Structure 1
Amino acid sequence: MAYIAWAVALLFAMNIGASGAAASMGIAYGSGAVSKRVALFLCAAGILLGAVSGGGEVVKTLGSDIVPEHMISVPVAIIILAAATLSLFISNMAAVPLSTSEVTVGAIVGVGIAYKVLFVKSILTIVFYWIAVPIIAFLLAFCVGRLVTAAKKFAVKKSWKRILPFFVIATGLTEAVSAGMNNVANAVGPIVAAGLMSVREGIWIGGLFVACGALLLGSRVLETNGKKITEIRLLEGSAVSGLGGTLVIIASHLGLPVPQTQITTCSILGIGMSKKGLRIFEKKITVRLLKIWLISPCFSLVISYNLVKIFIDFDFYSIILVGSVFIATIGLASFRMPVTRAVLSKKSTKVKLKKQYNAER
C-alpha cells in the first residue's frame, strides 16, 4: 500500500512540474533571452530551490491543519492524491485550468467531511486568502501596468532592450521558485501526514520529482507558452510573472496553499484594465473565472468523499445521495441541450426567412 502511495504522489509531482511549473520560463524562452534547454534547466533549478528553501510550511498545513494528522492513514493519503490527480486529468481533457492547490485542499476536505472531522477555522482562513491574494494581484498589476505605460513614453528604446532580457529571466525564476514553494506540498503533503516520510524528506524528494517533470516533460508547455508571447506584451508578461511569483512566495512562507492559476489570471486582468479600462471585464471571462474558482475544490472534494465511502468507510445511503445528485445534474443538462438547439434552430429559420423575403422584394 505504501508503494502505491509513493507512486501516485510522485506521478502527481511530475505532472505538476510538466504542466504549470514549466510555464514559468515561457516568457524568457519566447523572447529569446534563453534557449529552450537553458529555460527548462533554470525552471527545474528554481523549483527545487523553492521547495527546499520554503516548501515545508505548506506541507505542514496540508498534512495537519485541515484535518487531524492521525486521520490521514496510507489508504486515505492514496485517496487524497488520486482524487486530486483525477480532477486535474479530467480538467486537462476538458481544457479547463484548475489549481493544484485548490484540488488538493478540496480532496482533503472531502476526506474530513466523510469522517465528520474538519478544522473549519483553518479552511475559512485558506478560502479567505484564495479570494484576497488574487484581488491583491489584480490591484498591483493594474498599478504596474500604469507605470509600464508611463515608462514607455519616456524611456529610450535601446535602454529597454539592454535591461529586458535580465528582467524576464529574473521574473521567470521568481515564478519557478514560487511554484516549488507552494506546489510541491500538494504532491507530498498527504504522504508526509501518513508518516511515510518526514517534512524534510518530502520537500527534497517532491522537489526533485516536480523539477524532473518540468525538465523532462515540460518542453511542449514551454513551447506553447513561449511562442504565444509577443514583443508588445513582453514587459507586461514579465510583470505578471514577477508579481504572481512574489505573492505566492509570501503566501508559502505563511504556510498558505494558494491558487497560482487564479493569481496569474487576475494579474493579467489587472494589466489589461490599465490599458483598456473596464472593457476588459467581458461577461464570459468573469463567469469562466468564477466557475474555475468554484469547480476546482468542489470537484476533488466530491471524488475523495465518494472514494472514502466506497473503499474505507462504506455508507450505502451516502452513495445513493451523491449518485442521485449526479444523475439529476446530467438529466438537467440533457434537457437544456435540446431546448438550446431548438432556440438556435428557430433563430436560424427566422434569419433564412428574412433573407428570402428581402431577396424576393
Structure 2
Amino acid sequence: MVEILLVVGLLVAAFVGFNIGGSSTGVAFGPAVGSGLVSKLLAAGLMTAFALLGGWTAGREVIKTMGGQIVPQSEFTLAASVAVLFFVGFALLISNTFGVPASTSMTAVGAIAGLGVATGTLNEAVMLEIISWWIVAPVIAFWVCAVIGRYVYPYLDAKLELDSSPGPLVEFDNAGILPKLRLGPNTTPREAWSTVLVIAIACYMAYSAGASNAANAVAPLVGNGALKLNEGILLGAGAIGLGAFTIARRTLDTVGNDLTELPILAALIVETVSASLIAFLSYIGIPASLAVSATMCIVGLGWGRATRTVTLGEALGGKSPEMSVNALAAETQEEVPAMGQETETDLAGSDLFDPGTTGRVIFFWLLTPSLSALASYALFAMSPF
C-alpha cells in the first residue's frame, strides 16, 4: 500500500511540476518570445536547463522552508503530501487551461497553510514573513520600474537604440568548406549584442523560476523523507521542462502578446528587475511569485513612461495620462524632451496593456491559492491523515 501511495505521490509531484513549467515559462520567456527574439521551442529548452540550475542552487533553501518550516515535517505524511500536491496541481491546471501564468508559490503555500490550520500546527511567524514579502515584492517591482520608466528609460532608449531589424538575426555562410555563422543582412552589431543580452536575462528569469518553484512540486515529499533533496530537485526540474515544451505555449502568448507588446529595452528591464527580486527572495528561503513580480514590472514601467507627459507634481496630484497610452513603444529620440513636455502623441503606440487580460491574470492570482487553501483545509479538517 505504501509503495502504491509513493508512486501516486511521485506522479502527482510530476503533474504539479508539469503545470509549473506551463505557467513559469510564459513569465520568464514571454517578453523575449513576444519581441520575436526566440522561438517557443528554444524558450522551452532554455527554461528546462536554467530551471534545473536554479533548483539545484538557491532552490534548496525554498524547499527547506516549504518542507518543514511552515508546518512541522511530521505533518507531511505520505498521504498528506499527496493531497497537498494534488490541490496545487489542480489549481494550476485550471489557471493554465485559461492561458494565465498562475502564482505557483502562492498556490503551494496556500495548500500547506490549509494543512497547518486544519491540524493546528501552522507556524504563524513564518507565514507572516512570507505573506509580508508577497505584499512588499510587487510594490517594489512596480515602483522600481516606474522610476526607471519615468527617469531612466528615455535616455537608455535614445542612447542604445535597441530596435529589431527585419529579417533573420544571424545566418550561415556556406561559401567555404565549413559553414560560418554571420549576422543577418539587416542586423547591426549593437542589435546582435542586445539580443544576446535579452536572452541571457530571460535565462536568468528561468533560473529564478526554478529556484522559487521547484520546491512547489516536491517540498512535501522531501519534507517527509520520501525523496532525498537532490532527487526531488531532479524530479521537479524534469517535470517543469515537460510543461515548458507542451502547455507553456498558451502562457507564452498571454505574456508575450496579449498582456503587452514589449520592445527589446523594456523586456530587458522587466526581466532584470523581476528576476533579481525573486532570486534574492529564493536565497533567503521565501517562496515568492515570479508571475506577480514580472507583471507588476510591466505595468510599473509603462506607468512611469506614460507619466512623462506631466510634471512630477501633476503626477502625484492625480493628473496623469490615460493608461491606454503606450510609452514603451515610443520612437527613439536622440534628444529626450524635458519632463512634462512630451505629449501623448510622442508616446503613442499600441495599448500599454489590455485591461481584460490584466484583470483575468489578477483574478486567477487570487483564485488559485484560495482554491488550494480552502480545499486543503476542508480535506484535512474532515479526514485525519
TM-score, scaled to structure 1: 0.78
Q: Which moved more, 1:33-42 or 1:202-211?
A: 33-42
Distance 1:191 1:271, change over 3 A: same
The residue aligned with 1:324 is none
- CA–CA distance in structure 1, aligned partners of residues 101 and 246 of structure 2: 21
Deviations 1:256-279 (A, max 9, x none): 000112111211121011111354
Which of 272, 276, 293 does residue 306 from structure 2 map onto? Answer: 276
The residue aligned with 1:197 is 227
AA aligned opposite 1:178: S
The residue aligned with 1:244 is 274
Q: Give the gaps of 5 or more residues in structure 1.
A: 314-361
Structure 2 counterparts to residues 120-131 of structure 1, below 5 A: 120-131=124-135
- Structure 2 residue 181 is matched with structure 1 residue 151: no
AA aligned opposite 2:232: G
The alignment covers a number of residue pairs equal to: 313
- CA–CA distance in structure 1, aligned partners of residues 43 and 100 of structure 2: 25
Q: Which moved more, 1:91-100 or 1:170-179?
A: 91-100
Distance 1:271 1:156, change over 3 A: closer
- CA–CA distance in structure 2, aligned partners of residues 163 and 24 of structure 1: 20
AA aligned opposite 2:153: V
AA aligned opposite 2:269: A
TM-score, scaled to structure 2: 0.73
The residue aligned with 1:88 is 92
Shift of 1:41: 1.5
Shift of 1:234: 2.8
Q: Which moved more, 1:270-279 or 1:190-199?
A: 270-279
Deviations 1:69-95 (A, max 9, x none): 111101111111111122223334566
AA aligned opposite 1:37: L
Distance 1:232 1:133, change over 3 A: closer
Distance 1:99 1:7, change over 3 A: same
The residue aligned with 1:21 is 25
Q: Give the gaps of 5 or more residues in structure 2.
A: 163-187, 308-319, 325-352
AA aligned opposite 1:128: S
AA aligned opposite 1:111: L
Structure 2 counterparts to residues 1-361 of structure 1, below 5 A: 1-93=5-97, 97-146=101-150, 147-155=152-160, 160-222=190-252, 225-226=255-256, 233-277=263-307, 278=320, 279-280=322-323, 294-312=366-384
- CA–CA distance in structure 1, aligned partners of residues 286 and 48 of structure 2: 22
Distance 1:39 1:92, change over 3 A: closer
Percent of aligned pairs with the same residue? 33
The residue aligned with 2:184 is none
The residue aligned with 1:337 is none
AA aligned opposite 2:80: V
Whether the 8 Å contact between 1:31 and 1:229 is mirrored in structure 2 is: no
Whether the 8 Å contact between 2:208 and 2:279 is mirrored in structure 1 is: yes
Whether the 8 Å contact between 1:27 and 1:229 is mirrored in structure 2 is: no
Tell me which protein shows more helix as a share of its residues: 1
Q: Which moved more, 1:92-101 or 1:60-69?
A: 92-101
The residue aligned with 1:318 is none
Q: Which moved more, 1:64-73 or 1:89-98?
A: 89-98
Distance 1:292 1:18, change over 3 A: closer
Shift of 1:118: 1.1
Whether the 8 Å contact between 2:274 and 2:293 is mirrored in structure 1 is: yes
- CA–CA distance in structure 2, aligned partners of residues 224 and 266 of structure 1: 15
- CA–CA distance in structure 1, aligned partners of residues 161 and 51 of structure 2: 35
